A = this chain, B = another copy of it.
Amino acid sequence: MRLTRRYHFAASHRLHSQKLSEETNREVYGKCNNPFGHGHDYVLEVSVRGPVDEQTGLVVNLINLDGLVRREVLEDFDHKNINTQIPTFADSVPTTENVALEIRSRLARKWEGTFQDGLPRLERIRLFETRKNIIQVEEHHGR
């Protein structure tokens, strides 16, 4: 069974790759290459898979999950400038793709410490930059 939990954060960013010329940057990123940045209200979905606990009827303790997402993601991203305030993006472009990968890796590295019984497992991250632009990253597990 899969539980999906939805979170929100507002952030600003600028899309500009140091590996591309000024002209190519403008071509590839269009308005998102504006040097002063712009912003979005991101929606983050975290999906977790596991069995239902017989005593509680829950797949995951939401207090633990919400705490993990708050500490590892929301506190750093919400009402922030992603380019200048998230160290990973000092030399990586904060496209929705790369922001989703960063969020996935932040959750993955604290997952086992948070859910010590090995259940549930992180299955999927979805990040909506806007309602029209959605990135999904799945975790691939042993089997």
Contact = CB atoms under 8 A, between A and B. Distances in A.
Contacts of A93: 56-57
Interface size class of A (residues with CB under 8 A): 35 or more
Q: Is the interface of A mostly helix, strand, loop or mixed?
A: mixed
A38 interface: yes
Given A37-B39, A37-B81, A81-B38, A58 B28 contact: yes
Contact of A137 (B1, B31, B34, B85): B1
Contact of A3 (B3, B20, B134, B138): B134
A98 B135 contact: no
Nearest to A84: B36
A90 interface: no
Contact of A79 (B34, B58, B131): B34
A113 interface: no
Contacts of A17: 55-57
Contact of A136 (B4, B19, B56): B4
B79 A19 contact: no
Contacts of A94: 57
A4 to B, nearest CB: 4
Nearest to A125: B1
Interface of A: 1-7, 10-13, 15, 17, 19-20, 28, 30-32, 34, 36-41, 52, 54-59, 61-63, 78-81, 84-85, 92-98, 100-101, 130-138
